[in-house]
Amino acid sequence: MQSTIGNSIKLSLFGESHGTAIGIMIDGLAPGIKLDTDFIQEQLEKRKPKGKISTQRHEADDFKIVSGYFNGYTTGTPLCLIIENKSQMSRDYEKTKSIMRPSHADYTADAKYMGYQDYRGGGHFSGRITAPLVAAGAIFIQVLRSKGIEIGTHILKCRNEKDKSFSSEESVLLKEIREVNAKYFPVIEEAAEEKMKKLIEKAGEELDSVGGILETAVTGLPAGIGEPYFNSVESVLSHLIYSIPAVKGIEFGAGFAVTEMYGSEANDSFYYENGEVKTKTNNNGGINGGISNSMPLIMKIAVKPTPSIYKEQESVDIAKQENVKFNIEGRHDPAIIHRARVVVDSMTAFGLLDLICMRYGYMWMTDKK
């Protein structure tokens, strides 16, 4: 029963939604990484709920680094970061603790932990636990940016409302990445933001929720990153992205659309440009044989509608062993896709940095570009 992952860099996640604190241990960071703690807080702000499109549980998410950091730099020893929980309303879960909420981890957690799990707010399975992942991700993003590697995610689709896709032109793509990274609601077109927000608010008014598709792009990733077969770029990132609550699908490049193409259409032809190898198309999403080819890495991620809805639902009461109808109480999001994007960026940054360090060693993090 582990909540640890990584090769050159290891993450250990801990805490519960309504516990005293949540946090993360990072082992494998090089010494001498200068940290911008303001940037860590900025990233946490992107995950926070705001307005009618999010839950009304508002946490300060003030973080503390309690080890592995001294005089503004990483020390090279394990870095431990914690975030206190200050806005718990645990009574909302007490009277329905034996009722298994549909599409939550209530039943599977009970089966795994034999009834000893912290059920309040989903416990260790709650989306609240992604906050320390974002804080850690902010560290990884800083390291990658110092090497010219940029990551960005936008909402490509929210139920049936669409934003335009990231540009295939690398210079334009980098501009779009930086623009969406500066926004709380990450879309490329302003018109899409207004339509999506109205859709989310309407779902909330109807006691329901919506999901959608996120599109992630990475630029500046050098060729040669990834380890076939079991630590390929796709397998590592898929593992990490699927670890984010509510993610139900992922595809790279053209994804499932390649099934409708001939090989002559799907293949990305190579050519030289200013002495660098490029591809004329990017149907493989910047990856060949599980290894980066220096073209932009492109992923699409499916995020399901928030399972906590206020409509009456059918389920079971495992204490009484009977079928029941019930209404969820508490504070919940009509959509989490806009908050999930920064979690996707964070896990993408971790996966890529871990793979890079597997090839070049952990001191790559502090080597000059």
Annotated binding residues for FMN, as ranges?
124-126, 289, 304-308, 331
Collapsing DSSP to helix, strand or coil, 65 comes out as strand
Helix axes 37-47, 130-146, angle to 10 degrees: 130
The residue behind tokens 């009970």 is: 110
Report how far apart the first and last C-alpha atoms of the chain are (Å, whole number).
39
Question: Contact, 324 vs 315, CB < 8 A?
Answer: yes
Closest CA to 227 of 290, 314, 158, 312: 290
Question: Residues at the annotated binding site?
Answer: 47, 52, 124-126, 289, 304-308, 331
Measure the CA–CA gap between 331 and 191, rounded to whole angstroms: 29
Strand partners, 73: 34, 70
3-state secondary structure of 284: coil
Nearest alpha carbon to residue 192 among 158, 240, 167: 158
The pair of three-digit structure tokens given for residue 308, joined into one six-digit string: 């906590």
Rounded Cα distance between 67 and 62, Å, is: 16
Decide: helix, strand or coil at residue 271. Answer: strand
Q: CB of 7 within 8 A of CB of 352?
A: no
Q: Is the dihedral of CA 84, 183, 143, 241 positive or negative?
A: positive
Binding site listing for NADP(+):
47, 52
Beta bridge partner(s), residue 6 = 10
Tokens of 301: 């991620």
| Phi and psi, residue 358, nearest 5° | -65, -30
CA Rg value for the chain? 21
